[in-house]
Amino acid sequence: MRYDTYIFDLDGTLLDSLGDLYSSTNYALRQHEMPERTLDEIRCFVGNGVKKLMERAVPKGLENPRFEETFATFREHYLVHNLDTTAPYPGVLRMLAELKSQGKNLAIVSNKFYTATQSLCRHFFGDYVSVAIGERENIRRKPAPDTVLEALRQLGTGADNAVYIGDSDVDIMTARNSGMPCISVLWGFRSREFLVEHGGERFVSSPEELLRL
Catalytic residues: 9
Is the dihedral angle over the CA atoms 133, 139, 144, 149 positive or is it negative? Answer: negative
Distance CA 84, CA 78 (A): 10
3-state secondary structure at position 164:
strand
Residue 113 class from Cβ within 10 Å (0-12 exposed, 13-18 middle, 19+ buried)?
Answer: middle
Helix, strand, coil percentages (3-state) for the chain, rounded to 5, are 45, 15, 35
Closest CA to 96 of 131, 134, 48, 61: 131
Q: State in Å, rounded, how far the first CA of the chain is from the last one.
A: 6
**CB neighbours of residue 59 within 10 Å:** 12
The H-assigned helical ranges of the chain are: 18-31, 39-45, 50-57, 67-81, 92-101, 114-125, 146-155, 169-178, 192-197, 207-210
